[in-house]
Amino acid sequence: MRDPRILDSVSELEREAAAFVEELRPSENKATLVTLSGDLGAGKTSFTQAAARALGVTDAVTSPTFVLAKSYALPSSSAFKTLMHIDAYRLSEGKDLGTLRFTDSMREPGTLVMLEWPEMVEDGLPPADVRIRLEVRDTDSRSISYA
């Protein structure tokens, strides 16, 4: 994965997300889980939106804060078939993921699950394939690290 980086603009965040999904490959026997952590306003949704655009999503990708999860079919040119975007901010424990078809989605190879706020539901999560942490440095800059 990529080394920790400082991103000084939204366009750098978008380029970082595009480069990230370009390197990402689907798991062979399950969905690929990417978690995104960081304070409010750190760029989790912006990163997911840019990743979705890079994967070929043409629909508007909005934060699923109130609907909790959104799914997007990806074009055949993508390495993945489906993008599932989950915002767990309003959930209180892992079992709450059941209402989102999370377990079923995690069984689907070719599905990329990008989950914001994993710390809210960590007791219900399998190990993430990639953990991303975004931190606000100042008004325009963010740091991003991968594990």
- CA-CA distance, 37 to 74, in Å (whole number)? 24
In this structure, which CATH number among 3.30.450.20, 3.40.50.280, 3.40.50.300, 3.40.50.2000 belongs to the domain 5-146?
Answer: 3.40.50.300
- How confident is the model over 84-121, as pLDDT tens digits? 999 999 899 999 998 888 999 999 999 999 999 999 99
Mean of the per-residue pLDDT values of the chain: 90
Determine if residue 68 is left, alpha or beta; phi over 0 gives left, psi from -120 to 50 gives alpha, anything else beta: left
- HSE-CB of 109 using CA atoms within 13 angstroms: 5
| Domain extent listing, the chain | 5-146
Contact 100, 112 (CB under 8 A): no
What is the pTM (predicted TM-score) of this model? 0.91
pLDDT at res. 134: 94
The pLDDT confidence band at residue 1, using thresholds 50, 70 and 90, is: low
